[in-house]
């Protein structure tokens, strides 16, 4: 009897705390134990809870906070894994509960949480003493097309190569840069050593760092990959698989476009890696003009939107994450491409919003219809 009494008391307290709210009750039948109701009948009988219209009429038209919820016939649209099959998803389903090519549901909140974790794990990033910038001229977006050299000095004032470039992930990245022809229309081909360098880069960044293993663990729990071997093989195809940007030649890949940079149509295309920029600037092959965006971060990594000439070709806005490790760059771009292919990907770094735009390459595919990375870069605006 004592247990029953306690149970009744708990139920009474529960109802007392929730009797005036539709939280978790939208569309349910009439329940006289509540002082107000949360179904369409309450509109006729004028006994709706005060938050009925907010939670049950406005809320159910959006997937914000509803991803993966159970089906409720009273809701005008839905946010579960089957709504696409029944064509009754809310209009913002892809924004909040998007599924990538893998079919896994990865929410914006999960992406932001993971990006903060990866940010904290980037122990290979440059410190303030290892990387010193000289940004100089800041221009408005309307001036980026002027091709005016407004900075008399290089962007990179100092980079501690001994400290940074001796680290395995940096060394693996450096080995890849000279494997490509920058002009589109010229077919790429790789020696066995160069193919090994691609695999080394992926293994050093994704398997031999805590940051890379954290990304894999997340994707594994979401069912995207069943093993590390599958993870690495997919990244290899996604990033290094060749496709044609010009005249049918197998002349490009996601890695070449984003990390190394290309020349297409008489201008720089892609080119979103800070290490590549530094090396070309050091060799005198790249001339820094100005920057049109400087992110809100006071330490590295930071984000800049850059204007520059690369050996005769101009880049109007080349955005890049500055000072991060190669594994951080690769992890964020890969996460966003897998979770938000062809869309804005909203992340959080040190409590500040960071957006990556990804693009799929739709003219060819690998595996079972998977799409190569067309491009990915930080949104600088």
Annotated catalytic residue, options 125, 203, 222, 257: 257
- Cα separation, 375 vs 242, in Å, equals 13
Q: How far is CA 121 from CA 41, 115, 221, in A?
A: 53, 10, 19
Q: Quick check: helix, strand or coil at residue 119? A: helix
Instruction: Tell me which of 78, 264, 315, 371 is the catalytic residue.
Output: 315
Q: Which residues contact 81 (CB under 8 A, 6 or more apart)?
A: 68, 99, 105
CA distances from 337 to 15, 323, 357 (A): 45, 21, 9
User: For the purposes of burial, counting CB atoms within 10 Å of the CB of 304, is it exposed (0-12), middle (13-18) or buried (19 or more)?
Assistant: buried
Measure CA of the first residue to CA of the last residue in the chain; give whole Å: 66
Is residue 341 within 8 A of residue 358, CB to CB? The reply is yes
> 222, 264, 272, 291: which is the annotated catalytic residue?
272
Q: Is there a catalytic annotation at residue 257?
A: yes
User: Do 158 and 126 form a contact (C-beta atoms < 8 A)?
Assistant: no
- Calculate Rg over the CA atoms of the chain: 26
Q: Active-site residues: which are they?
A: 257, 272, 315
């Amino acid at each position: 009897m004592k247990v029953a009494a306690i149970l009744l008391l708990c139920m009474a307290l529960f109802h007392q705390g929730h009797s005036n709210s539709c939280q978790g009750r939208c569309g349910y039948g009439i329940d006289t134990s509540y002082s107000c109701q949360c179904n369409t009948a309450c509109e006729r009988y004028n006994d709706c809870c005060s938050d009925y219209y907010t939670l049950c009429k406005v809320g159910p038209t959006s997937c914000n906070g509803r991803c993966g919820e159970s089906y409720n016939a009273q809701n005008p649209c839905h946010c579960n894994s089957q709504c696409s099959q029944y064509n009754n998803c809310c209009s913002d389903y892809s924004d909040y509960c998007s599924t990538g090519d893998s079919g896994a549901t990865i929410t914006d909140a999960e992406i932001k949480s993971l990006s903060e974790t990866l940010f904290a794990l980037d122990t290979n990033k440059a410190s303030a003493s290892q990387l010193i910038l000289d940004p100089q001229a800041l221009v408005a977006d309307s001036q980026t097309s002027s091709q005016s050299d407004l900075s008399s000095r290089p962007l990179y004032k100092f980079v501690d190569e001994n400290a940074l470039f001796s680290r395995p992930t940096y060394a693996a990245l450096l080995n890849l840069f000279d494997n490509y022809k920058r002009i589109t229309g010229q077919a790429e081909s790789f020696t066995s050593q160069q193919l090994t360098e691609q695999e080394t880069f992926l293994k050093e960044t994704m398997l031999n760092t805590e940051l890379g293993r954290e990304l894999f663990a997340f994707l594994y729990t979401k069912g995207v990959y069943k093993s590390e071997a599958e993870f690495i093989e997919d990244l290899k195809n996604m990033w290094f698989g060749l496709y044609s940007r010009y005249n049918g030649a197998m002349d490009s890949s996601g890695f070449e476009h984003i990390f190394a940079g290309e020349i297409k149509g008489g201008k720089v295309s892609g080119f979103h890696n800070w290490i590549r920029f530094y090396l070309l600037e050091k060799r005198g092959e790249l001339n820094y003009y100005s920057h049109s965006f400087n992110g809100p971060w006071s330490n590295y990594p930071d984000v800049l939107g850059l204007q520059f000439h690369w050996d005769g070709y101009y880049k109007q806005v080349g955005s890049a994450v500055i000072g991060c490790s190669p594994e951080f760059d690769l992890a964020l771009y890969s996460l966003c491409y897998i979770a938000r292919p062809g869309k804005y990907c909203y992340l959080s770094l040190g409590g500040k919003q960071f957006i990556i735009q990804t693009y799929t390459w739709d003219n060819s595919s690998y595996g079972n219809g998977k799409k190569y990375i067309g491009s990915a870069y930080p949104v600088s605006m």
